[in-house]
Structure 1
Amino acid sequence: MTTVGVLALQGSFNEHMAALRRIGVKGVEIRKAEQLQAVDALIIPGGESTTMAKLAHYHNLVRPLLSFPALREFVSTGKPVWGTCAGLIFLANKAIGQKSGGQELIGGLDCIVNRNFFGSQLQSFETELSVPKLAEEEGGPKGFRGVFIRAPAILEVGPDVEILADCPVPLETKKSIMSVDNGQEEEIVSRERVIVAVRQGNLLGTAFHPELTTDLRWHSLFLKMKKDSSDRCLQRVPTSGTDLEDSLGKRPFDLPIYE
């Protein structure tokens, strides 16, 4: 059976682990670099990106556990990697709107991400997203309830990046954003919509939190992503409620999630 690692330094890793259990996939909490060798895919969850970066540095400098080089090496293997919210920031080649001094990135996803684009924790929100590509590949409705918590947004993408969802900019969000990049103020062009979900090769990025909903289609989509160097798809057990009850003995909805 496929084994999916979930980076467990900080953030919503428990919710991703629960989602994986609900579709019958083995999840492993990843805190050591050596654990990456035993997983077929990796999820980098939402959380506080600066805190997660500091923890990764701490593990690298004080205890030889998980480090950015180890994560970059995993991305370079071509195995599927999914970043949600803070995880999306880490996967981006460039992030703006960071705190003084910036933070280290894993990179690989050809896009520019604005950290905390939608504002502070108080500006967190839910909205219906149009997801025709997700519906085409995974079935279900063409809409998805996106949960945005102190969320980033994707401002620009490269030619090889597939846009899976975008989102209108709320009225309370400043349309013209000032950020500091390499010591210089940079003004981002005013816009009405921003990108919130993308896919590029073995990488998937979402600015919102699918793990906080009952809709498992993003997890299913991720599990079907192919390793670049192989035609092999990740294997998983059937996802219907009946099959889950038969294989696991009960429906494992063990964490509070949004309907």
Structure 2
Amino acid sequence: MSRTRPRIGVLALQGDVREHLAMLVRGGADAVAVRRPRELAEVDGLVLPGGESTTMVKLARTFELLEPLRERARDGLPMFGTCAGMILLADRIEGGVEGQETIGGLDVVVRRNAFGRQVDSFEADLDLHAEVEEAGAAAETSLDGPFHAVFIRAPWVEQVGEGVEVLGTVATGPASGRVVAVRQGALMATSFHPEITGDGRVHAFFVRLAGAAR
């Protein structure tokens, strides 16, 4: 019997795993924690949460997940990276440590800790835009409109490749115009933490994206 709801995993090595799981369920998914390759093989989509990007790569290698993650990204598994997860999905990093590895797949240049360190964490209003037919007609799955976002030691996107769609930019303040949400095919990423805002539109959009890719 086929599943009617997409099964979406959250990489459970570091970060706000429970918060992402709750948001995915709210968005219409069956949500599961992923720590092993066999769990990764069973999901229709994957969230890469925030944390410390170099530590996450080391843990992924320890759990024998790094190469399976790269393989599934190449094979088209929908993935959504937040904050450090954005860094993990980027093809190129500015401000990283020497030899820093990523999963890759997003044709972007991401600047690590672009907004500053932990003490420089802040909130900002964003402009979000996405194709309505990709997010569904229901208002709760639309990405069009303002979004109040939380940034914690956040990166930003310095350059986007030809096939990358900009979904969101900072609307006001000294960082106005900075790119903080992108999508390329089945991969999407945000600089901010939508799992802690109470606004479920970003997760609902990803659930819709993962469901359509099944």
In structure 2, give the amino acid aligned to 1:145. H
| Unmatched runs of 5 consecutive residues or more in structure 1 | 61-65, 174-191, 227-231, 236-259
1:135-174 map, 5 Å: 137=135, 138-139=141-142, 142-167=145-170, 171=174
Shift of 1:58: 2.4
| 1:210 and 2:173 correspond | no
In structure 2, give the amino acid aligned to 1:233. A
Distance 1:40 1:163 in 2: 23
Which of residues 23, 26, 30 is equivalent to 2:27? 23
Q: Deviations over 1:125-160 (max 9, x none)?
A: 011101133778434871001110100000000010
Report the counterpart of residue 133 of structure 1 in structure 2.
Answer: 130
Cα–Cα, structure 1 residues 216 and 134, in superposed 2: closer, same or farther, change >3 Å? farther
In structure 2, give the amino acid aligned to 1:22. R
1:44-193 map, 5 Å: 44-60=48-64, 66=65, 68-99=66-97, 101-133=98-130, 137=135, 138-139=141-142, 142-167=145-170, 171=174, 193=177
Shift of 1:234: 6.1
| Unmatched runs of 5 consecutive residues or more in structure 2 | 136-140
Larger radius of gyration between Structure 1 and Structure 2: 1
Report the counterpart of residue 14 of structure 1 in structure 2.
Answer: 18
The answer (yes or no) to whether the contact 1:97–1:115 under 8 Å persists in 2 is yes
RMSD of the alignment, in Å? 2.2
Distance 1:39 1:83 in 2: 16
Distance 1:113 1:169 in 2: 20
Report the counterpart of residue 138 of structure 2 in structure 1.
Answer: none
The answer (yes or no) to whether the contact 1:223–1:234 under 8 Å persists in 2 is no
Shift of 1:214: 1.3
- Deviates most, 69-78 or 160-169: 160-169
The answer (yes or no) to whether the contact 1:131–1:142 under 8 Å persists in 2 is yes
Q: Could you tell me the TM-score, scaled by structure 2's length? A: 0.87
Distance 2:113 2:155 in 1: 5
Cα–Cα, structure 1 residues 141 and 77, in superposed 2: closer, same or farther, change >3 Å? closer
Shift of 1:39: 0.6
% identity of equivalent residues: 46
Q: Tell me, what secondary structure is at the counterpart of 2:205?
A: helix
In structure 1, give the amino acid aligned to 2:49. P
Cα–Cα, structure 1 residues 207 and 132, in superposed 2: closer, same or farther, change >3 Å? same
Which of residues 233, 236, 256 is equivalent to 2:212? 233
Q: Tell me, what secondary structure is at the counterpart of 1:98?
A: coil
The answer (yes or no) to whether the contact 1:3–1:28 under 8 Å persists in 2 is yes
